[in-house]
Amino acid sequence: MDDNKDNKQETEVTQQEKKPDDIGGVHVQGHIKIFDPESEEVYVDKRNAIHYENMSEALALSVSNKGTGYISEMWFGNGGTTVDTTGVITYLPTNTNVQNADLYSPQYYKIVDDTNATNTDPTRNKIVVTHTPGFVYTDIIVSCLLDYGEPSGQSVFDNSQDLNGQFVFDELGLKGYSTNGAGTGKLLTHVIFSPIQKSLNRLIQIDYTVRIQTLTNLSSQG
């Protein structure tokens, strides 16, 4: 009788030990590199801020195949900093706290979804997903090129003195796709950096990496 009781207890303990690994989380982080693809001069190389509320919704919409919310556009703005008369730059905080957040002063955008029919250069403005088997993270690499003639109306040379021109960019963000049209999707990421002038005499390339990592049993981040 006692043997049966002991066997039952052992079975219960074994079942408890085999409990599914159902406690986990998702960590999202981003990194941006802005550079001249010809001279290879690097202008910005830093982490960026994630809009966690909007990103959580975008992930859910993408996984459930709802046809919206996924990364679609890269936006450029010029309202992320102020420069005083002595050249001291003041950086504003990123806009990642409210659902309807946007760049401080959006000025230009490009479609980076290479499956979108309105993307006029999908070989240089594209999204690549990379994953290494056995690891619990996957990288989304968003590439965007501002060609010599982009945007229309820019200065001929990159010699702006006041750094307040329309196309002197100091902020950038990724937005999700919306059926309501360009610019109406939610802001997913935001980064602010030292002003960079886009002019006719220079190319500017942006490589924007978003890493999505699952945290098994809330394990440490890799």
- Each residue's pLDDT tens digit, 134-169: 999 999 999 999 999 999 998 888 776 667 788 999
> Facing residues of 216 across strands?
24
Domain assignment of residue 16, yes or no: no
Domain assignment of residue 1, yes or no: no
What domain range includes position 189?
A: 24-216
Q: Over 56-117, what HEC string results?
A: HHHHHHHHCCCCCCCEEEEEEECCCEEECCCCCEEECCCCCCCCCCCCCCEEEEEECCCCCC
Domain assignment of residue 39, yes or no: yes
Q: What is the pLDDT of residues 92-136, one digit of tens each?
A: 999 999 999 999 999 999 999 999 999 999 999 999 999 999 999
Two structure tokens written together for 70 = 């996924």
DSSP character string of 22-53: --EEEEEEEEEEEE-TTT--EEEEEEEEE-HH
Q: What is the pLDDT of residue 84?
A: 85
Domain assignment of residue 18, yes or no: no
Domain assignment of residue 10, yes or no: no
Q: What is the pLDDT of residue 215?
A: 85
Q: Say whether pLDDT at 216 is over 60.
A: yes
The whole-model pTM stands at 0.85
57-70 burial, b at 16+ Cβ within 10 Å, e below that, comes to bbbebbeeeeebbb
Domain assignment of residue 17, yes or no: no
> How many structural domains compose the chain?
1
Q: What is the pLDDT of residue 217?
A: 54
| Rg of the chain on CA atoms, in Å | 23
Q: What is the pLDDT of residues 10-45, one digit of tens each?
A: 555 555 555 655 667 889 999 999 999 999 999 999
Domain assignment of residue 9, yes or no: no
Q: What is the pLDDT of residue 164?
A: 76
CA–CA dist 183, 74 (Å, integer): 10
Domain assignment of residue 4, yes or no: no
- Stretch 58-77: mean pLDDT: 96
- Stretch 172-185: mean pLDDT: 95
Q: What is the DSSP letter of 197?
A: E
Q: What is the DSSP letter of 120?
A: S
Q: pLDDT band for 55, please (50, 70, 90 cuts).
A: very high
Closest CA to 190 of 204, 165, 210: 210
